[in-house]
Amino acid sequence: MDNLFNRIIAREVPARIIYEDDQVLAFHDVAPQAPVHFLVIPKKNIATLNDLQEEDKALAGHLLFTAQRLAKALGCEDGFRVVANCNEKGGQTINHLHLHVPGQRQMTWPPG
């Protein structure tokens, strides 16, 4: 599966990386929607949230835990949002599972 996020993982495309381990990569969004806005992606090729399998439960938890830990480290203790767009109608534009984590501003509801 070739996509922008796999090219970022392979360091073929530059990104402002803020965290990496053997399972996930986190980097600042290129078009931030909040003072803090980063993405957390699995290194495993998973196209959408719908494509998670039973074997991916620990990875899914690790994605969320990483998002929480980084949000706190980047000064979002007062609140942040975690968004996983799924498929075209859900707003997903890159077919690689990813979490958006915006923070340091008041979030509104509904998001749009």
Q: What is the pLDDT of residues 12-50, one digit of tens each?
A: 999 999 999 999 999 999 999 999 999 999 999 999 999
Q: Which two tokens stand for residue 58?
A: 């620990």
User: How does pLDDT run across 48-81, given as a tens digit for each residue?
Assistant: 999 999 999 999 999 999 999 999 999 999 999 9
H or E segment at 85?
none
Fold of 4-103: HIT family, subunit A (3.30.428)
User: What does pLDDT average to over the chain?
Assistant: 96
* Residue 97 burial (10 A CB sphere; 0-12, 13-18, 19+): buried
Q: Which of 28, 37, 96, 98 is catalytic?
A: 98
37 annotated active-site:
no
Residue 112 has pLDDT above 70, yes or no: no
Residue-range domain boundaries for the chain: 4-103
